[in-house]
Structure 1
Amino acid sequence: MARRGIGVPAMTSAKDSGPKPAQGTARDATDYPEVHPGRAAEGQRQVPTLVFLHGGNVGNWSWDPQVLAFGDFNILTLHLPAFGARFEETWEGLESAADDVAALIADEVSEGGVHLVGISLGGVIALHVAARHPELVDSVLITGAPVTGASATARAFHRMQLKLIGSEWYWRFQAGAYGMVDDERELFTEHGVKLKPENMRAIMNDLDPGGLPGNLEAYQGPVLALVGAKEPKIVQKSFAALREKLPQAITRVVPGMHHQWNIENPILFNSVLRKWIADGGLHQILVDPQAVKPARGAKPAPAEQPAEAPADQSRAAEESMGAAEEAGQKKPGRFTAKLDFKKKEPQQGDRREDPADTEK
């Protein structure tokens, strides 16, 4: 399965984690490595692999807080077609993108499956990878993925935005709406102005009708679908359709978070992710959609199969909201040294603990 696009090094050692720009050269939003070898624990025969799939208006650099926190995993942070180092390429559809991801996994992972993590567009592609190549996937975590499509009004608005893609002010405004500041905002803007309107239009054409793959039932593994409480409600409304295809899927709301919350609050995101991939558990801050007060006139979503639900869901929701506010006030500093990708090598088990995470 040959992979198109840029070449990547094999995961051979923690010190050889991708191309290394010359000392002192300016960084940009397209040079972030795809391959980040992990360090095996003593007596560990094989290092598990995490695959991060970025959203539809950022690059793979957006996963840097996760790369730094999961040094005990092999990590793949892909440049999806039409983004990052591949922004000159043409978008050829969700299935093609999923096969592209599967090709890199097949090239880099010699044994066992991977843990797929996707946000927004990356979350939709993760579902397509699981549907088309279920043998490669051990678990799936997606967030902010509206898999049932957009309304006619939203579609018209999205196409109006295409006229603004080349404007720096547009991307700076979007960065603020996502909760990004300082270095994140600069990288987001730098990357955004390079995106091609024709590729973004093609992606919208794929996502607007709904991004659920038709053969998703082929994947029988665990799935966790999340949405930030401050995201558009369309994401949460799509949970029911996802569970129809994947009855084993668990859906939860993350209190206080916007769309790009892996950057907005990486401490919290990393704690939620580690608990999920460690034992399939749910971080205590996550709230069942049934405990979230619906908008006026909205119909309640169908109930899902319970999974580690607190006995008193209302009380748990209140406690979670308070913990989210506390965690949100403790946002770490900017990306390491203006995103100096080689300045700090991930260490085994290196992660910043979330004070709200007491269920380790």
Structure 2
Amino acid sequence: MHVDRVGSPGAPPLLLLHGGGVAGWMWEPTRRHLTDDRRLLIPDLPGHGRSADQDYVSHDDTVHQLAAVLEREERPVAVAGFSLGAQLAVLLAARRPDLVDRVAVVSAQTVPLRAPGPMLALLRVTAGLAKHEWFARMQASALFVPDDLLPRYVQTSAGISRDTLLHAVGDNIAFRVPAGWSAFPGPALILAGAREKQLMKISAALLHEALPQSILEIVEGCGHGIPLQQPAWFARRIEAWLG
């Protein structure tokens, strides 16, 4: 799994986990507004971007790989994840609290779909559309990908295999709040956009209810894409939360 490491080796680390269908480049708008007093760990998750040669197998497998990355750090790490990456952040915090100092969860679905079979069957048939630029551009608009990153999105989308798409989406739509989440001892920030589907706001509330010391915020004016839609605000909020 490819991991970019940005900043001074001695600075406190922050792991940034991207969503499905994008790659580590999605954090570039946020990085432009962050100060330099953090060391950023920015992976391309399996099956995405510069890790596209390794198919996405499962959330469990990916969390195992991410834990191996964090084990090489000399201290617990702050973690922030978006969408698919937010689910992984929750799993990391629940399973390896020894590695996670605090966690920011942005737009994580925690309510499983009742009938995933038809959706996955349709996805299996239409997976090839992701390789077409017109389709990638349509999807980019829904994620609020800025114009300067659109070529990166098109390239990433074209490189995602059918297996990666099916495995990542399959685990995404079956995700529930993991048992260990309620025992996570660190601070947690849970964000969802006010204009997201009701399912996402319910999911955020479930995460908050399971972890009483967490902070829940519904971000006005945002849909499913807070870090790309409002990168300056998001960077300020994360830095304030990191303290």
**Alignment TM-score, normalising by the size of structure 1:** 0.62
Does residue 1:121 correspond to 2:75, yes or no? no
Q: 2:216 maps to what in 1? A: 251
Whether contact under 8 Å (1:150, 1:234) holds in the other structure is no
- Aligned-residue offset at 1:93: 1.3
Alpha-carbon shift at residue 261 of structure 1 (Å): 2.3
- CA displacement at 1:247 relative to structure 2: 2.3
Give the alignment partner of residue 189 of structure 1, picking from 151, 154, 161. Answer: 154
Detail structure 1 runs of 4+ shifted over 6 Å in the superposition: none
> Equivalent residue for 1:36?
6
Superimposed CA distance per residue, residues 126-181 of structure 1 (whole angstroms, 9 cap, x where no aligned partner): 01111121011111101111122234389628726534222211110111122233
Q: Distance in 1 between the 2:186 and 2:51 partners?
A: 31
Q: How does 1:137-286 map to 2 (within 5 A)?
A: 137-152=100-115, 156=119, 159=123, 161-278=126-243
Q: Structure 1 residues 90 and 173 mapped into 2: Cα distance closer, same or farther (>3 Å)?
A: same
The structural deviation recorded for 1:35 is: 0.5
Counterpart in 1 of 2:22? 58
What is the distance in 2 between the residues matched to 1:231 and 1:127? Answer: 20
Unpaired runs of 5+ residues, structure 2, are none
Measured against aligned partners, the alpha-carbon deviations of 1:194-215 in whole angstroms (never above 9, x if no partner) come to 1011111011221222243232
Q: Residues 99-145 of structure 1, C-alpha deviation per residue, up to 9 Å, x if partnerless?
A: 211211222x21x3211000000000001111121011111101111
Mapped pair 1:132 → 2:95: yes
Distance 1:179 1:122 in 2: 17
Q: Does 1:47 align with 2:11?
A: yes
Residue 153 and residue 105 in structure 1: after superposition, are their counterparts in 2 closer, same or farther (change >3 A)? Answer: closer
How many correspondences in the alignment? 240
Shift of 1:75: 0.7
Distance across 1 between alignment mates of 2:171 and 2:143: 23
Q: In structure 1, list runs of 5 or more residues that go unmatched.
A: 9-33, 40-45, 279-360
Question: Is the helix fraction higher in 1 or 2?
Answer: 2
Tell me if the contact between 2:30 and 2:232 (Cα under 8 Å) persists in the aligned partners: no
Matched, 1:94 2:56: no
The alpha-carbon deviation at position 76 of structure 1 amounts to 0.2
Q: Percent identity?
A: 28
Distance in 1 (alpha carbons) for counterparts of 2:118 and 2:229:
26
Q: CA deviation at 1:67?
A: 3.0
Change beyond 3 A, Cα 1:72–1:170? same
Instruction: Mark the CA change 1:243 to 1:154 in structure 2 (over 3 Å): closer, same or farther.
Output: farther
Q: Which amino acid aligns with 2:39?
A: N
Q: What SS class does the counterpart of residue 180 from structure 1 fall into?
A: coil
What code does the residue aligned with 2:96 have? H
Distance in 2 (alpha carbons) for counterparts of 1:176 and 1:79: 21
Separation of aligned partners in 2, 1:211 and 1:193? 29
CA RMSD of aligned residues (A): 2.2
Amino acid aligned to 2:63:
A
Distance 2:57 2:87 in 1: 15
Contact 1:165–1:197, Cα closer than 8 Å, also in 2: no
* SS of alignment partner, residue 105 of structure 2: strand
State the alpha-carbon separation in 1 of the partners of residues 227 and 205 from structure 2. 24
Larger radius of gyration: 1
Contact 1:36 1:67 (8 Å CA) reproduced: no
Which whole-Å CA distance do the structure 1 matches of 2:145 and 2:24 have between them? 16
